[in-house]
Amino acid sequence: MAATTRRRTGKLDLDPATVRKARSLARTVGRPIVRIARQHTTVSVERATLRLAGLAGADAEGTPWVNRLVDVVRADVGLEHGVALPVWDAVRRGEGADLRELAEKASAGSVRFRIPEGPDAKRARTAATRAVGAGIRRIDGRRRERERLIRRIGDAPATPWVYLIVATGDIYEDIPQAQAAAREGADIIAVIRSTGQSLLDFVPEGATREGFAGTYATQENFRLMRAALDDTSRELGRYVRLTNYASGLCMPEIATLAGLERLDMMLNDSMYGILFRDINPTRTFVDQRFSRQVHARAGIIINTGEDNYLTTADAVEAAHTVTTSQLLNEYFAKEAGLEDWQLGLGHAFEIDPDIPDSFRLELAHAMLARDLFPDAPLKWMPPTRHMTGDVFRGYLLDGFFNLVGALTGQGILLVGMMTEAVVTPWLSDRDLALQNVRYVMNAAGNLREDFRPEPEGFIAERARQVLAETIDLLEQIAAEPGRAPLLEAIADGTFGLMKRPADGGKGLEGVAKKARDYWNPANEMLEAR
């Protein structure tokens, strides 16, 4: 999926000038946000930096050492200079043999941090650069390891990659389920996180066996699951990818852990946390930029969360908010260094099946996404809102969902379950769902070659209409007052009906404006591409 410059050969023959205009508006709207992201740091960015340098583990109460250390440094000298200089200055002064000992002593109150100057600062920089550089090199090594494994073992045999979910809450239950799902045909395993982890301002530690409707994302859980899937990949002769969530208050740290443990995909949306979790906008954009830089470096494919817009708003009326969000996600992703092949831009099959032409509308929306982002592996999400508990009707709906996926060349297909909204999927539900996917792909997987919508027909017309509404919305956002119109738009409730003011939401207290002398070696290494 290498990025190649090519002539637009989309099925919809979209006007290239209109497409350029949409992208340029996304840039206009996104750029001030990037400026804000560059001007701030957060507790989670700083903690991620310490994790890159190898600080892991937690105290007896389960509070991670990175949290302990950052809290003490912040209390002593503030966050605005970055924690790297004061931390490695303290190590150099002999306050701790390593970061772990320093963190222990600091939380016992026996270390005073300072901002070093002159030669002290220079030496602290050297030490910090070496330590954090080791983490970045480990991420690079993990990426090469993935490439090597895919070469040696083999890749998923066809697209779309089949994406299945496990979620028991217990990592030791998740592992056999994930291996079984891979044997049944999954190319991607996603481990759903425990409800509410996105609002924890720390990453839990160790292997976990208790979660609410999902399993905690921890470094150890990542490691255990990746190792198990490596075994299964060898057994099956195809590399099975692992997905988790880089979202919520600890997005940068979780992205870092994913890079260190060779996860392959991460859910990572630019606005999801703001809109659906009421996390402070600045916190989100700062954290998101750092986490995307890590993903870019680690060769991780991101999955964005546009499907969420359609679960809260009408899927026809809100179609253009999906396209708008995809364009913004693309801008923010590329700015952070991600390439087209890493953009699993999301969209979903959520139109009310009772409205006339619902299938044609779905096809138009999906085709628009495909034509706008020809080199991105789009992520196609199954129906949830209109799954009523009538499993037989739901099975048919999932078949039509799969058909749209086949007709529009989706890269990642989250398999729809007929028991959606009834139970967590049973073994037989998953088996039937995979039969549904296989039947449609086998029967109609190549139909795309023959299918081109009538240029003046319903589908092409609908796609043009959604793109026009997208441009209207982006223009409306760009016209908002202030230095960051997108923040104003988010505060007004432009997306997903939610009003999220820039000075509200969770995690704001963890944001600091960078001082002139702010320094973070990870930033330098991740920016230098």
Q: What residue ranges bind other proteins (CB under 8 A)?
A: 180, 183-184, 195-196, 199, 212, 275-278, 308, 311-312, 384, 421, 426-428, 431-432, 496-498, 506
Do residues 282 and 508 make contact, with C-beta atoms less than 8 angstroms apart? Answer: yes
- Whether omega before 160 lies within 30 degrees of 0, making that bond cis, reads yes
CA distance 200 to 64: 12
CA distance 28 to 482: 13
Annotated catalytic residue: which of 187, 239, 379, 395?
A: 379
**Residue placing its CB nearer to other proteins in the complex, 390 or 431:** 431
Task: Look up tokens 């209390």; give the residue.
Answer: 75
Residue 269 CB, shortest distance to other proteins, in Å, is 12
**Residue placing its CB nearer to other proteins in the complex, 113 or 395:** 395
* Cβ neighbours of residue 73 closer than 8 Å, sequence gap 6 or more: 46, 79, 83, 86, 87, 106, 113
Do residues 255 and 288 make contact, with C-beta atoms less than 8 angstroms apart? Answer: no
* β-sheet bridge partners, residue 190: 165, 243
For residues 6-21, one letter each, b for 16 or more C-beta atoms within 10 angstroms of the residue's C-beta and e for the rest, the string is eeeebbbebeeeebeb
Residue 497 CB, shortest distance to other proteins, in Å, is 7
For residues 205-224, one letter each, b for 16 or more C-beta atoms within 10 angstroms of the residue's C-beta and e for the rest, the string is beebeebeebbbbbbbbbbb
Residue 485 CB, shortest distance to other proteins, in Å, is 23
Residue 175 CB, shortest distance to other proteins, in Å, is 15
CA distance 352 to 339: 34
User: Residue 52 gets which letter from DSSP?
Assistant: H
- Answer yes or no: 514 catalytic: no
**Residue placing its CB nearer to other proteins in the complex, 58 or 300:** 58
Do residues 438 and 344 make contact, with C-beta atoms less than 8 angstroms apart? Answer: no
Residue 17 CB, shortest distance to other proteins, in Å, is 37
Annotated catalytic residue: which of 239, 272, 309, 518?
A: 272
- Answer yes or no: 307 catalytic: yes
CA distance 520 to 81: 8
Task: Look up tokens 């073992």; give the residue.
Answer: 153
CA distance 346 to 326: 7
CA distance 353 to 200: 37
* β-sheet bridge partners, residue 506: 279
CA distance 429 to 165: 12
Residue 183 CB, shortest distance to other proteins, in Å, is 6
Which two tokens mark 424? 């967590």
C-alpha closest to that of 486 among 375, 349, 329, 336: 329
Residue 342 CB, shortest distance to other proteins, in Å, is 26
Residue 312 CB, shortest distance to other proteins, in Å, is 6
Annotated catalytic residue: which of 307, 371, 398, 429?
A: 307
Residues marked active site are found at: 272, 307, 379
